[in-house]
A and B are shown apart, each in its own frame.
Chain A
Amino acid sequence: MNYAMEISGNLATITPSNNRFDAYLAPEFRDTVNDAIEKSATNITVDMRNVLFIDSSGLGSIVSCHKLLQSANGIQLVNVNKDVREIFRLTHMDKIFDLNQCSPDQDGNLAA
């Protein structure tokens, strides 16, 4: 289990426990998101606090899950490390995802 998941109503928070989010672990991330969707989650937050390294496969898995949830709220990223942010910036993904958010409160609201 490289991803912890908490679900409350339609809110799901997925937290990668590994510090690398790469081609090896990206398929399991997709599976975890699909699992959350099957459990009726429409608002999915990924808590990136443990992730120190992301590659293009990790990015790609986040993009594909964001597309999957586009009719709902998409994927929200919180607690994104500075080095990981740099990769989002390099690929212009910082225009798609708000990378300045911290953990959601009990109601699922994200604080900047």
Chain B
Amino acid sequence: MTIKTEPAKSEPSHQKLLTIDSELSQVKIAAKAVRKISNSLSFKSVDSGQIELALVESVTNCIEHSYGYQSGNLIDIEYKISDVELEVSVIDDGPPAPKLTSKLASETDAISQLNLTELNIDSLPDSGWGVMLIKSLCDNVTYSRGNNRNILTLIFALSPRSKESHTQEA
């Protein structure tokens, strides 16, 4: 999950992508915006669909856990593209999320530990797949607090090919 990064010559800054309301019907708007960004790049090991899914899981997690499905709250989506990675941050005004911290810090990849057969389908969870998916889809994930806000950052490594692609499009 950890990426080795080389020092960038000039550190790019985060850019605001959009702000959505904390409603499940709004998630697809954020998904579409992130897909547009990721479609402009090529990735070595992940595709735009995986980035979109990680973002959707993160925003849905916000709406559920930070805001308890209450609309009327804001969720900011920011991104940063460097020579080596794409960062997408999902920022909300909810209370601190210690559960999320421990889930992200856990060394256990619950998905890979599942032993799925028809015989044990009863043990399958109906929910709680979101963070597991986020961890599987991203090269790295960080959670922090800043200005009393939750900041979940999804990091996707870029391949050398994508660097060229980005330079050409910039």
Contacts and interface: CB of A to CB of B under 8 A. Distances in A.
Interface stretch (B7-15, B92-100, B109-117, B160-168): B109-117
Interface stretch (A6-14, A32-40, A41-49, A56-64): A56-64
Interface in B122-144: 122, 124-127, 129-130, 132-133, 136-137
B28 A22 contact: yes
A55 B57 contact: yes
Contact of B125 (A60, A87, A92, A95): A60
Nearest to B52: A53
A63 B24 CA distance: 20
Interface string A78-103: 00000100110011110110000000
10 contacts: A53-B31, A55-B53, A55-B57, A63-B121, A63-B124, A67-B122, A90-B136, A91-B133, A93-B116, A95-B116
B124 A96 contact: yes
B127 A57 contact: yes
- Grouping DSSP codes into helix (H, G, I), strand (E, B) and loop, the B interface class, with mixed when no group exceeds half, is helix
Interface residues of B, number: 30
Interface residues of A, number: 25
| Residue in B56, B63, B116, B126 with the greatest tally of chain A CB atoms within 10 Å | B126
